[in-house]
Amino acid sequence: MTKTETFRYHQNNSGGFVVDAPTLNASEGYVEGFDIYIYASSKDEANRIAESKGIYFDGVRKGRDCECCGDRWYMAWYPEPASEVQLAYEEIMDTQRNEDHKDDEDWMDDWNSPSSHWHY
């Protein structure tokens, strides 16, 4: 079985604006703010998946991005350390948990009950 790693793509606001993040299936990865996390067994596979979702590289050279701001997207060169991926995941869950319980007086009762599991 091939080990799956998580590769991060951060969107630079080239030209002073950002574009909509690509849509990913849960098995492909997830989006957090301007960061797109893609699950793959290698950087080459991650970059192919990213390109298939509309992420492009070398935008300045190809005339798509602002020369002074730089490229919007950069290729992945290494997987994210597990601790950083875990922190991003926990931030997503905390945001969702707060939204799910913002009108619920007993929301703390659910705080300690796991809604999902993180496996390494």
Question: What is the full DSSP assignment across 49-69?
Answer: HHHHTT--S-TTTTTSS-TTT
- Give tens-digit pLDDT for 31-84: 888 889 999 999 999 999 999 999 999 999 999 999 999 999 999 988 887 655
Mark out the alpha helices in 34-115 (DSSP H runs).
43-52, 82-100, 107-111
The DSSP letter of residue 14 is G
- Reported as a pLDDT band with limits 50, 70 and 90, residue 103 is low
- Predicted structure pTM score: 0.64
Q: What pLDDT shows up at residue 35?
A: 87
**Residue whose pair of structure tokens reads 């067994």 in the numeric block:** 41
Contacts of 29 (CB under 8 A, 6+ apart): 6, 36, 37, 38, 39, 49
The three-state secondary structure class of 36 is strand
pLDDT of 114 = 43
- The answer to whether the beta carbons of residues 74 and 57 sit under 8 Å apart is yes
pLDDT of 38 reads 92
**What's the pLDDT score for residue 60?**
95
